[in-house]
Structure 1
């Protein structure tokens, strides 16, 4: 029962409390003090008017209802109830209110920054800690949209929610003061206000539904947009962009329609709030005066508080509408964080790998969650400072083997032994640091050459020396020295300012800067023209003997000089040896060579 009530009325507070903690209570207390001080100050207007009308001092405090304790307090402090003393106390109360209001605003901004920073850090850390196999099952559009657009909604959602909390506190304070001044009148107004709220609850529920739907549409749009950018060349060359454009516009239209509906709901509520509440108050004033013989002075004081309450009813509904409009961002962020938690990669922190001196794959198999087996009983011994190549048709398991070797996947069966120790017993993070990974599509960040190679390391003398050594080994130092801004030259989005070969050598330099033991080239030359391919191949040949190297190759001419070639077929290593030995001893490898030479 308690859990049901909590989930219905306090689940959002519980969510924010989990990030901010007890400081939220302090924020609520500040609002409470602001409301009480403001209400007490307003209440003192009644005796001020009476003193101004009747004479120099106050004869009775009956027109303040149960709030007469304010005047009793002034007398208890030793002051007469004169115009000057009451005015001074009223001014003091409003000054104290101003101080607490400043503290309230300061604490709210501080907590907002703390909350947004914490949840964004949590999402970034969650992405960083995500297991690769789990990452493959995530929707990239959802990740992109949540980390960018939906994260912005969280900021507005936080502000709107706690504005709602504060307005609710102030609303309750003023209603409480209204009860103290005229109990019957306050009861009737509260009942009328409660009944009128049923209309608004309908629009709140519709707004919440549309907000969640908008977040889902945002995920779709980001996903389609990412694909449009990634496949721009193909879509442009084939004129398929006109068709794809219609799909993008269809999602945009749905987003616009949802936003319009939220705007209409907000406008309806904004236009109805004041008229409905004013009608309720006027009807009850007539009932009090004509049928219940209520005191006009206490009704006026109570009405002052209710007028104040009216302002906070309007602002409360407006801020809650703002929160509901952004609730999709909160839900999306929580869901993504939970996805990250479910797929978090676990590390054994006991034994760090400071250098890889030996690697053995022992009877390793790998099966995807859908049951598809990619690798079957693979055995391989990798000796230091030697070069190995994996070849075979597409789908033979080459890339999966490398992904397993580098630690992105773990064997479904069998073991990977590093330095005579089972890899499952070592720190995987330190293990991965010992690898350099050069892919078919070079990874280039929209920054300068130095930051691309060092990944934003400080430009210290030591780091600059490491940088120069890495670019020299990657054979790109002459190109960098020829540039006007040298290593400070920006490369543009995905390295658009440089050639494919230069991008590839920059990515090689990055891995060399890391000071690795094993270099992996995953079809690193297959996307290059013949001349550039030869330059990169010369670079690879120069690195042989200096690093342990693993090469996945499509063009067999690039692996003539390696120490061992492993031919893969349907997830198995079916033959291993030097290039010439495989040509003479294995018919399948020989046919592959002949076909490539023919082409």
Structure 2
């Protein structure tokens, strides 16, 4: 529609030339000049108006204003479709990453995931834009070719002498565009930072089912970024739509002044331009846009391949049955391997009873971490049974099971956000949540620390908790799981990187939790596991012996040797 209206407007310059110096145009003469486009004159006379210069100029201006409206609608719609496309593909990538099975995730190149989700996505968007700009330019090319054939001659186009004056008006729009662009850049930085943290902390987020809530945070950034991008797009649409009508308005005003006030000759104030010249411009645009599309094909292929791999590795979690409480966990003759030729776990029997603590000890490679991955449902037995409350774990919804799990690792998971958001995982700031937050701080011995911070609970902790000590980071991790009210707490060598004094404080935290939830400890140090209800000594993927600390010390030479050498 914009192309045809542009052509109709250009065609009216022919009778405008012919009416110069006359009171009224000779319709027959003008119709002959317009060829098949003479219906434009028929329409004007059908309205009851005479074919004077003023009438033609007003009608011409109306056509270009209408064209501007169509151009705005087209550009605005393009922005909306592009926003939908970008959100859809980013949502799809974030959802596919969060839904991926942990075992399959291990086979992915983390750098590839990070680069594709943060960098190559822009190439995909650029390819999308270039492809549809190519189609649009091709359609307009056909429009001008058809108009040229209908007219059968070269039509005139007025060159605006006041075009450069439009910049004064556009400066205001440029200012708002610049502001939106700045906001967009800042939000994009936060999105990239959060996305990198999601990839880096995938295991923790997956094990605790926090990824489902973290996705909301990522999508919120996507929404805000695309809202700013929408503003920029609309400002650009206004610029694109208003430029030509404004220029034509200036030209029309100049022509009216020339004719009415200066008695000038209209033929002397415009330049000739053919439809074929317009068509030539769009031939060049087709080539330019297609070249841009080709240049971004690499990013498009990379993005599609990653999406394919993510979908291929999707976790099968089809059960709708929710886990209300973790009363007992039972592993019966469980075996596991990543590759059939190398077993990681053999014939594991373990029953975790309600509100008891268990410790897994052994040298590196003995299978402790893999057994923990089994307990949180990140991997599943390749032999034997894993029962939750007497029923197979896979009969339950895994996300609901992981929502009951707290996971504290050797490298504490701290996000570049406030203390409150780190502990509550971006929960709403309600009175109830504040009470739970303060209770979690007290249990984790963090109240005094938070009170000493400059902004209290609103203090930003820095990237990976760079602004606090290792022990403080661990206590914040513990407080997060206490706020969550986890029923199964996993401490995966949570004190191995701490000094003795800090370790003792963390150990006091762990001991204070005994009897309130199920606790599983993986540790090397004696002090961490000494008070556990049951200790499992692992070797080469098997449970060599089990019992209380004193029982193992008396019955196992291996355990006794480890105690003497302080190997755990």
TM-score bracket for this pair, using the shorter chain length: 0.7 to 0.9
Q: Is the 8 A contact 1:57 1:83 kept in 2?
A: no
Structure 1 counterpart SS, 2:385: strand
For 2:46 and 2:418, locate their aligned partners in 1 and report how far apart those are by CA, in whole Å.
74
Q: Give a deviation string over 1:364-412, Cα, whole Å, max 9, x none.
A: 1111147432111211111011110111111111100100110100111
Q: Is the 8 A contact 1:50 1:58 kept in 2?
A: no
| 2:499 paired residue number | 529
1:587 to 539, 554, 557: 557
- 1:345 deviation in Å? 1.4
Question: 1:244-255 counterparts in 2 under 5 A?
Answer: none
Query: In angstroms, what is the RMSD of aligned CA positions?
Result: 2.7
Question: 1:21-420 counterparts in 2 under 5 A?
Answer: 33-52=1-20, 56-60=25-29, 61-75=31-45, 83-182=53-152, 304-369=274-339, 371-420=341-390
For 1:407 and 1:469, locate their aligned partners in 2 and report how far apart those are by CA, in whole Å.
29
**TM-score, normalised relative to structure 1:** 0.71
For 2:367 and 2:442, locate their aligned partners in 1 and report how far apart those are by CA, in whole Å.
34
For 1:436 and 1:169, locate their aligned partners in 2 and report how far apart those are by CA, in whole Å.
58
Note closer, same or farther for the CA distance 1:447–1:370 as it changes in structure 2 (3 Å cut). farther
- 1:56 deviation in Å? 3.0
Structure 2 counterpart SS, 1:368: strand
For 1:489 and 1:124, locate their aligned partners in 2 and report how far apart those are by CA, in whole Å.
28
Structure 1 counterpart SS, 2:360: strand
Q: Is the 8 A contact 1:181 1:302 kept in 2?
A: no
**TM-score, normalised relative to structure 2:** 0.75
For 2:341 and 2:36, locate their aligned partners in 1 and report how far apart those are by CA, in whole Å.
75
Q: Is the 8 A contact 1:178 1:302 kept in 2?
A: no
For 1:88 and 1:476, locate their aligned partners in 2 and report how far apart those are by CA, in whole Å.
75
Structure 2 counterpart SS, 1:575: strand
Task: Extract unaligned runs of 5+ from structure 1.
Answer: 1-32, 184-221, 231-300
Give the structure with the higher percent helix: 1
Q: Give a deviation string over 1:47-85, Cα, whole Å, max 9, x none.
A: 333444897313343333433343444455555655455
Q: Is the 8 A contact 2:361 2:538 kept in 1?
A: yes
Q: Is the 8 A contact 1:435 1:520 kept in 2?
A: yes
- 1:305 deviation in Å? 0.7
| 2:451 paired residue number | 481
Q: Is the 8 A contact 1:129 1:344 kept in 2?
A: yes
For 1:500 and 1:83, locate their aligned partners in 2 and report how far apart those are by CA, in whole Å.
83
| 1:543 paired residue number | 513
For 2:32 and 2:366, locate their aligned partners in 1 and report how far apart those are by CA, in whole Å.
93
For 2:440 and 2:8, locate their aligned partners in 1 and report how far apart those are by CA, in whole Å.
72
- 1:168 deviation in Å? 1.8
For 2:57 and 2:564, locate their aligned partners in 1 and report how far apart those are by CA, in whole Å.
103
Q: Is the 8 A contact 1:57 1:82 kept in 2?
A: no
- 1:143 deviation in Å? 1.2
